[in-house]
Every structure is written in C-alpha cells, then in structure tokens.
Structure 1
Amino acid sequence: MTSPTPDTITVNGDRLWRSLMDLAEIGAYDDDRTGLRGVNRLALTDADAAGRRRVIGWMEEAGLTVRIDRMGNIYGRREGTDPTAAPVLTGSHIDSVATAGAFDGCLGVLGGIEVVRTLKERGISTRHPIEVGVFTEEEGVRFGTDMLGSAVAAGRLTLAYAHGLTDRDGLTLGGELVRTGFAGPARVRLDRPHAYVECHIEQGPVLAENDVPVGVVTGVQSISWQEITINGRAAHAGTTPTHLRADAALAAAQIVVHVRSMVDSGAYGDLRATVGHLTVHPDLTNIVPARAEMTVDLRNPDDAHMARAEQDLAAFLSDLESGRPGLTLTSRRMARTAHVPFDEEVQKVIAQAADDHGLSHMSLLSGAGHDAQEIAALCPTAMIFVRGEYDGISHNPREYSTPEACTYGVNVLATTLLRLAGQV
C-alpha cells in the first residue's frame, strides 16, 4: 500500500471501531450455536429504539442537525457554504436480523458520522451540505418488506402502505413508530440529493478471495420475496393411508426441491434461491401437517431471467395444487426490486479515492439488497464494499471485519464525500 495523496482525508479508526463496538452492545445476546456475542435489533423494537437514540446522540455531538421523518428515517445534516446546494447523502441502517453481527448497516451509518467528526475537527467546509441517514427496516425481517424506509423516502412505496404493514404479532409499523417515539414530523419524500454513497461490509467472500480491501459496487441484483401458505388436512400419522393424505409439509418439501432444481438447471442465468422460513402446523410428531408457511427468496442479476424464474415458480405452484386433491396454495409477494445499476461517475470517484489512499480495489455487483438501490432512483449513487472475514459471512454473530478494513473503507468514503461535496 502506498502513501495517501495530499488531498485525501483519513478518519480516526480507533474511534470508529469504538462506536461500532458500543452500538453492538445494544441488543446484544449470547449465541449458543457459535459461542459468540450476537446482535438482535429488529426494526422498531425497544433495542432498535435504544440504538437510534445512541446514534442521534453521536450525531448531535458531531454538530449535525437531526430531523426524523414520518417513516422514522433519521437524518443528520452538516450545512455547506452554499445554501442552495443539494446535500451529499451517506448512511445505511442499524436495524438487524435476529442473529446479526456488529457491522451490517452500522458501518455505513457510523462511518458517515465519523467522516463528519473528522471534517469538524479539521475545520473543513464543503459547498454542498453533507447528510448522514439512518433508514428504517432495511432488513425487512419484522414487517416483511426490505429497504422499507428508503423505498418510501424515494417514492417507490407509499407511506400508508408502510404504516399498515404488520409483524407476526399483528403490530403495525405505524403503531410501533408511535410507541417507540420515532413517528417524526418531517416530510418523508426526499428532495433530490446531489449524490448518495453508502459504505457497507461486502457480506460475501469475493474481496477476501481476491485479497482486495475495497470494492467499488456496480449495482444490486434483482430480488423477489414470496410468502407461500399451503393448506392441507390434518390426519393421524398411523391410521391414515398415504394416498388419502393432503400433506402440507410434503408440498413444502417439493417446493424447496424445485427452487433448487431451478438454480441447478442453469436456465435462469445466475439465479439464487433460498427457502429461509418454513413452519408446519400443528407441528406435532404424530399428525400429518395441515398447514405449512414458507418464504422463497429469489435473486438474479438479470431482470429477464428473474421474470422467467418467477413465472416458472408460479406454474409449479399451480401444478402442485391441481395435482394433489385437498391442497390449496396461496402466495403473497412480500418484496420485488429490479436490478439497479449504479452511477458510473460516482464509481469513478470512489475508485480514484481508493487509488489515492493506496488501496487496491475491484468492481463487483452486490448480491444483497441495500438502501442505495432505492436512493439510486433519486440521484447518482454508488457503494463502497469493505472486506469481511470468515468467507464474508453475514447475518450471523461470526460476521466480522477487522478494524483496519473498516478504517480503509471509511477513509475512501471520507475522501469520496469530500470530493462530491466540494471542499472550500
């Protein structure tokens, strides 16, 4: 690694790491499977609310003016010298899955705050304002729709739709915003930012496999989430002949096998398919299941291949229902986003910043969804990926990125934001 050029900016990596570790204590739990400390901070739970309050405190200490919109999205603003200039936006999310690590989303939020701290300490002004955003329910695991806060902010989803979503206990997102104190007064639709840059752990093995510290993200692949409910008929496991059963669990198993066969066929390009949630009822050893509930997650970098995969799955579900008397299947689309390419000019700024910090980099497509794909509808957008360890595992307590890797990524973020915002 070579020495940075004079016009780059570097952050306090030790302080950034302390912020990451401090936030990770909010919602922390001891994971029996890994023996590690994990994070459970589902959106708009008490733990998420406590994390939000901690982040707001850090924003205010850094001199940011904080506003909260009607989706609970949080923005901290550092004014620029030109009151008419649109802001350069950065950020991510701090909500987590139930078995998370310390870095997913949090690095982008806390990295943005660390950039502002550094600018303040060095007395650096920018022409454009800089804003750090914290978006609500990016993960989608509680209310069933991912990138929710940013999707409403960008106008793809309506506020009424989002407020009406319910969790598995029947609690609405709108009600939980009120309960936790994050039903803010600000208008939810964002005015067009000047640009958006999000720093995120890769959540995959590509950077580590290539021994590269920084990824310049070219876009996000298409994502489709479906919830499938299979209604069959409960029956005694010993007395009911097989040919008289309407076994909901068997149908669910056939769906699992089918989506894997779709992937293995190669007919849908680089398709990835996952059944991440599957439950049966009444969930008793000696009763044929009467109902099964499951989700199917499809991902594809090509929109046409994705559309064909969705059509194939729909046809299979229809055939499965018609071929097994006593079974009924219903499906509900939970989320659907198209492939989103990122802005080439912002990618160039990121790559140049990495070069100027003496950091090798590579271009890659994101396999995971991010708030950046929603904000890309409003303004030039791109992402910075930071290398993870342990094959890039994420959504797991083993999720880990070293202090050095996090600092490298946020140094690139800092220089990128400074150049996009126009140092004065």
Structure 2
Amino acid sequence: MTNSPIKVTGSRLWQSLMDLAKVGATPLGGNCRLALTDEDKAGRDLVISWFRDEGMSIRIDQIGNIFARREGRQTDLAPVMCGSHIDTQPTGGRFDGNYGVLAGLEVIRTLNEHKIETDHPIDVAIWTNEEGSRFVPVMMGSGVFSNTLTLEEALSAQDKAGISVRDELKRIGYAGTETVGGYDVKAYFEAHIEQGPVLDTENLPVGVVSGALGLYWYDVIVTGQECHAGPSPMSYRRDALKTSSQLINRILTIADSRQPDGRVTVGELDMHPNSRNVVPGRVKFSVDLRHSDKAELDKMHDEFTALLQAEKKEGIEIELKVVQKMPPTHFNKDCINRVRDAVNALKLPHIEMISGAGHDAVYLSRTIPTAMIFVPCIGGISHNEIEDARPDELEAGAHVLLNAMLAEAGSTL
C-alpha cells in the first residue's frame, strides 16, 4: 500500500448513484427495482456496462449473482471482494445497497486512474434479491453463496403471482451457469448506509462495523371466539384482541433493560373478522427480538415465551411459530482492523458500532472474513423514497473502502 491514503472521486461516485437511480425511479424521488423484474434487469445491465468500461470481466452464477473482476498481478490468488445489492423495496431509496456496489465500482475506477496494480484480484459483487420484497427468503444470493440456503430452495421460491425465481432469472437473461460459491475469497468488505439515526445524530461520517444483531422472528396467533358486540357482556367474551393487547404491552418492554443493543418490535397485526361490531375471534401479530449477545438474546426469548404461557386462560388459545432465527454476527478481527486503519489514516471522525439490520455481509461472514463500513443516511431514514445521504459522507466511506481493500489485496503504484 502507498504511504498516504488514496482517495476516490466523490463527484463521479455521486453521478453514478444518480444515474442508477433513474432506473425504476418513483414519483417521490426513490426507487422501485424489485428483484428480477424488468427494472432490475435494466439496473444490472447498466452497472455491468460500467464494469466493462473499466476492463473488468463478468461472471454470473446460477442464482444470478454478478461478479466483476479486475485481475491482480497473481491471478492464482483468491480475490478481495466488495459489493452489495441493487434490488430495492417497492418504495425504496437511492442508496440502500446501491452505494455498496457503486462504491466498489469507484474503487476500480480509482485504481485504473492511478494505474495501481494489486497482488490479489479484486471482485465487485451484485447479490441477487437481498431485500426479499418480491421473493422470500431475504439475502437470497449471498445466502446460497455462503451455503446458508440451498440453490434449489432459492430457485423454487415464488412471488405472490406464483412466478418462480428460476423462471424470472431465465426471462431477464441472468440465469448464469457458474457454480454458486465455487471459488475462494480472501476477504469481503461491504459499504452501506447505516439505515438508522446514530451516525447522522452524532454528526460522524463513518462507522466501523464489528458485527450485526442476532434475531428471532415469531408469529403469535391468539384465538378466542368472535361474537356480536352488543348482546355479549364483557365477562362472557373470549376476546382475542384483549388478550393480544395485554401481551403486546408486556412484550414491548422486554428490551427496556437491555440497552443499547436490545430491540423488540411488533410490526404486523392482523385481526379477524375485523368488523366494527364483532368481538375479534382471532388475532395474529409478529414479534421481532434482536440483540448483539447470544446469551441475552436467548434470555429475551425465554422471557417472551414465559409471557405467552402466563397469559393462557380458559377459552383462549395462544400459538407460537418461530419464523426465523439468526445468531449474532461477529465480523473478522483482521478485516475490522483494515477498516479501522483506513479510517485512522484518513483522519475521519468515527465510532465503532453494531449493525441492527441484516446485510449480505452477515451471511457471507459465515464462510469469508468480512467487515462493513457505515455512512450516515439523513435522519436515519431508509426503506423509504425520501432516503437521502450527503455526497461528502458517501465519498468518505468510499475512501475507507478503497484503502481497506488495497491493504488486503497488496498494492504498488
């Protein structure tokens, strides 16, 4: 690596983000590029054209992950990789995922501009269906790459119209032939907007990310009996909503004593028959528990299930379904040190932090040494058309990505 940090061209990075944002643009300034739609294809085609302009070779695997490679001096060495995704939420923003991919492109442009050679090849990845908005499960491409999901499970997934991932990959021309995860990677770095308020509130341009919260996702189904609201005295009712409301109030306190990393959310609520003058007979609600420490997460799970048990009563049934479990993620210490060294060399104010959201890096860290770099999003707003970021802070994060990857890949001017 050179003695002083190399820097990217921030205005060029910003222009790339704005050009990609035109694909699937929404009226309020956001993006809608659901996975494997025509808009996703157009976004993929555009970014691949930029990779090819920089002399990179393109490979596509069987789940549609895209890998653009800049060769190193020693082609037999494992690549150093960065990347993210370009699929979006239905009312998504211009930066979620897109920033990590285009910051990687800006790394390549800067290396070419400065005629810097690296010992290891450098790969920039675009992972298929990170968002999970159209096809479930989320983080599909990186999940198959890391052997967390099977290829068949992913290809067989269907959207609400019954259309499969397999068929849509073929339709848009991204059903690749390369074996998924069929090669070694030396290290993976992912730059991303924080999607939360900490960096923006603290007025810091960069976060050094050491891992991600573990989570439990549940569905709770409370069943009583619907009946006419007028003729049914309160003492005779088997009111599923009353029980659910009492439960939810208690569940939402589980994380209060487990700050700053404890999280609890009830995000979905479905009531049957959902009629003004009928006592609800069934209520279904979701619960999301998160923590950075596995022991604390397990305690939260135990406390939650004890609340359900304590609320059971005659005439009311409570059913619990575990939807997803993900242990806390701890990124690779050496990769974190690469990020930390780059931040310090660039003299950027920063904090070290845990990711509250899932990212492709979480799955990839199971098989590849991994670290992440966060930059602020204004107001902490993400998964929203008004999602926004400051050009200078996006540039700062890309500076960090470039220098961390150079240190890992080995370079000379």
* Uncovered stretches (5+) of structure 1, i.e. residues with no partner: 31-35
The alignment partner of 1:38 has SS state of coil
Please tell me the residue identity of whatever aligns with 1:410: A
Residue in 2 aligned with 1:329?
Answer: 319
Residue in 2 aligned with 1:278?
Answer: 269
Residue in 2 aligned with 1:297?
Answer: 288
- Aligned CA distance change for structure 1 residues 236 and 170 (closer, same or farther; 3 Å): farther
Q: Write the distance in 2 (CA, Å) between the matches of 1:258 and 1:323.
A: 16
2:348 pairs with one of 344, 352, 359: 359
The alignment partner of 2:129 has SS state of coil
2:141 pairs with one of 149, 158, 165: 149
The alignment partner of 2:35 has SS state of coil
Question: For 1:88-130, what per-residue CA distance to the aligned partner results, in whole angstroms no more than 9, with x for missing partners?
Answer: 0100112222332211111101110111122223322211111
Residue in 2 aligned with 1:33?
Answer: none
**Retained in 1: the 8 A contact 2:59–2:178?**
yes
Residue in 1 aligned with 2:36?
Answer: 44
Please state how far the C-alpha of 1:87 moved relative to its aligned partner: 0.4
Residue in 2 aligned with 1:378?
Answer: 367
Whether 1:25 aligns to 2:13 is no
Tell me the TM-score normalised to structure 1 length. Answer: 0.88
The alignment partner of 2:286 has SS state of strand
How do 1:196-345 residues align onto structure 2 when only pairs under 5 Å count?
A: 196-264=188-256, 266=257, 270-320=261-311, 322-323=312-313, 325=315, 327=317, 329-333=319-323, 335-345=324-334
Please state how far the C-alpha of 1:12 moved relative to its aligned partner: 2.0
- Aligned CA distance change for structure 1 residues 60 and 179 (closer, same or farther; 3 Å): same
- Aligned CA distance change for structure 1 residues 332 and 339 (closer, same or farther; 3 Å): closer
Whether 1:173 aligns to 2:162 is no
Please state how far the C-alpha of 1:199 moved relative to its aligned partner: 0.7
The alignment partner of 2:142 has SS state of helix
Question: For 1:33-83, what per-residue CA distance to the aligned partner results, in whole angstroms no more than 9, with x for missing partners?
Answer: xxx422233333333333223222222222222222222221111111112
The alignment partner of 1:37 has SS state of coil
- Aligned CA distance change for structure 1 residues 86 and 309 (closer, same or farther; 3 Å): same
Please state how far the C-alpha of 1:294 moved relative to its aligned partner: 3.1
Aligned length: 411
**Retained in 2: the 8 A contact 1:223–1:369?**
no
The alignment partner of 1:262 has SS state of coil
- Aligned CA distance change for structure 1 residues 160 and 308 (closer, same or farther; 3 Å): farther
Residue in 1 aligned with 2:116?
Answer: 124
**Retained in 2: the 8 A contact 1:70–1:184?**
yes
Question: For 1:283-330, what per-residue CA distance to the aligned partner results, in whole angstroms no more than 9, with x for missing partners?
Answer: 43334445444322211011011112223333434554x425254525
**Retained in 1: the 8 A contact 2:255–2:300?**
no
Q: Write the distance in 2 (CA, Å) between the matches of 1:226 and 1:185.
A: 36
Please state how far the C-alpha of 1:196 moved relative to its aligned partner: 0.7
Please state how far the C-alpha of 1:248 moved relative to its aligned partner: 4.3
Please tell me the residue identity of whatever aligns with 1:297: D
The alignment partner of 1:90 has SS state of strand
**Retained in 2: the 8 A contact 1:225–1:298?**
yes
Q: Write the distance in 2 (CA, Å) between the matches of 1:178 and 1:227.
A: 34
**Retained in 2: the 8 A contact 1:268–1:309?**
no
The alignment partner of 2:117 has SS state of coil
Residue in 1 aligned with 2:94?
Answer: 102
* Uncovered stretches (5+) of structure 2, i.e. residues with no partner: none
Q: Write the distance in 1 (CA, Å) between the matches of 2:6 and 2:334.
A: 20
- Aligned CA distance change for structure 1 residues 204 and 183 (closer, same or farther; 3 Å): same
**Retained in 1: the 8 A contact 2:185–2:368?**
yes
How do 1:178-193 residues align onto structure 2 when only pairs under 5 Å count?
A: 178-193=170-185
Please tell me the residue identity of whatever aligns with 1:12: T
Deviates more, 1:86-95 or 1:146-155: 146-155
